[in-house]
Amino acid sequence: MRGKEKIIEIKHLTKYFDVGNGKVLKAVDDVSFDIFKGETLGLVGESGCGKSTAGRTIIQLYQATSGQVIYDGEDISQKKSAKESKKLKKKMQMIYQDPYSSLNPRMTVHESIAEGINNHEEQLSQREIESRVYGLLESVGLTKKHANRYPHEFSGGQQQRIGIARALAVEPEFIIADEPIAALDVSIQAQIVNLMQDLQLEKNLTYLFIAHDLSMVKYISDRIMVMYLGSMIELAASEILYDEPLHPYTQALLSAIPIPDPRMERTRERIILKGDVPSPINPPSGCRFRTRCPKAMQVCSEAVPRWQEVSENHFVACHLYDLEYISLVVD
Amino acid sequence: MSSLKQEVEDDLFVRAPLEEKVLEDFAEEPVTFWNEAWRRLKKNRGSLLGLITIIFLSLMALFGPVISNHSFDDQDLALSNLPPKIEGLGWLGFDGRDVNGKDQYEAREVTSNFWFGTDEFGRDLWTRVWKATQISLFIAIVAAVLDLIIGVVYGGISGFFGGRVDGFLQRIIEVLIGIPNLIVIILFILILEPGITSIILAMVITGWVGMARVVRGQILQLKGQEYVLAARTLGTSNVKIIWKHLLPNVMGAIIITLMFTIPTAIFFEAFLSFIGLGLQPPLASLGVLIEDGYKSMRFFSFKLLFPAIVISAVMISFNLLGDGLRDALDPKMRK
**How far apart are the C-alpha atoms of B128 and B113, rounded to whole Å?**
15
CB atoms A107 and B244 under 8 Å? yes
DSSP tag of B242: I
Taking CB atoms and an 8 Å limit, are B33 and A187 in contact across chains? no
Determine whether the interchain pair A264/B4 forms a contact, defined as Cβ–Cβ distance below 8 Å.
yes
Between the two ends of chain A, the Cα-to-Cα distance in Å is: 44
Contact B230 A166 (CB under 8 A): yes
By mean pLDDT, which of A86-90, A254-258, A297-301, B246-250 is the weakest? Answer: A86-90
Q: Would you state the pLDDT for residue B19? A: 59
Average pLDDT rounded to a whole number, residues A25-51: 91
- Would you call A96 and B226 a contact, using CB atoms and an 8 Å cutoff? yes
Residues 6+ apart with CB under 8 A from B277: B186, B189, B190, B194
| Facing residue for B227 by CB, picked from A101, A119, A242 | A101
3-state secondary structure B40-95: HHHHCHHHHHHHHHHHHHHHHHHHHHHHCCCCCCCCCHHHCCCCCECCCCHHHCCE
Average pLDDT over residues A304-325: 86
Residue B81 and residue B137 in contact, taking contact as beta carbons nearer than 8 Å: no
Q: Is A159 on the interface with B (CB under 8 A)?
A: no
* Lowest mean pLDDT, pick from A198-212, A312-326, B49-63: A312-326
Is 70 exceeded by the pLDDT of residue A163? yes
d(CA B245, CA A210): 26
Asked if the Cβ–Cβ distance from B30 to A150 is below 8 Å, we say yes
Q: Do B236 and A119 touch (CB under 8 A)?
A: yes
A267 touches chain B (CB under 8 A): no
Model ipTM over 0.90 = no
Higher pLDDT, A80 or A222: A222
Q: Report chain B residues whose CB lies below 8 A from the CB of A85.
A: 235
Q: What is the β-pairing status of strands A231-237 and A314-317?
A: antiparallel
pLDDT band at A327 (very low <50, low <70, confident <90, very high): low
pLDDT band at A328 (very low <50, low <70, confident <90, very high): low
Residue B331 is given by DSSP the state G
> What local confidence, expressed as pLDDT, does residue B214 receive?
92
Of B189, B176, B183, B173, nearest to B139 (Cα)? B189
Q: Hey, what domains does chain B have and what are their CATH numbers?
A: 40-72+129-333 (1.10.3720.10)
Local mean pLDDT, 10-residue blocks, chain B (335 residues): 57 66 58 81 88 92 82 77 77 76 76 80 86 91 93 91 90 90 84 84 88 92 90 88 89 90 90 83 84 85 89 93 86 50
- SS3 of residue A210 by DSSP: strand
* Residue, of A245 and A322, whose pLDDT is higher: A245
- Which residues in A lie closer than 8 A to residue B237 (C-beta atoms)? 119
Q: Do A93 and B233 touch (CB under 8 A)?
A: yes
Q: Is A105 on the interface with B (CB under 8 A)?
A: yes
How far apart CA A2 and CA A41 sit, in angstroms, is: 11
CA geometry: angle at A273 spanning B3 and B1, to 5°? Answer: 0
**Among A residues 30-69, those touching chain B with beta carbons less than 8 Å apart:** 56, 59, 61
Among A94, A98, A112, the residue with its CB nearest the CB of B233 is A94
Of B18, B235, B244, the CB nearest to A86: B235
Q: Which residue has the higher pLDDT, A76 or A293?
A: A293
Residue of A nearest to B251 (CA): A106
Strand runs labelled E in chain A: 6-18, 24-36, 40-44, 66-71, 74-75, 92-95, 174-178, 206-211, 223-228, 231-237, 307-311, 314-317
Determine contact, residues B222/A83, Cβ cutoff 8 Å: no
Residue B33 to residue A90, Cβ atoms within 8 A: no
b/e code B20-45 from CB counts within 10 Å (16+ = b): eeeeeeeeeeeeebeebbeebbeebe
Characterize the bridge pairing of strands A66-71 and A223-228. unpaired
pLDDT value at residue B22: 43
pLDDT number for residue B78: 77
pLDDT over threshold 50, residue A206: yes
Residue A116 contacts B where some CB pair is shorter than 8 Å: yes
pLDDT band at A239 (very low <50, low <70, confident <90, very high): very high
pLDDT of residue A250: 92
Is the CB of A304 inside 8 Å of chain B's CB atoms?
A: no
Does any CB of chain B come closer than 8 Å to the CB of residue A94? yes
Chain B residues with beta carbon closer than 8 angstroms to that of A133: none
Residue B235 has its nearest CB partner, among A97, A116, A190, at: A116
pLDDT of residue B215: 93
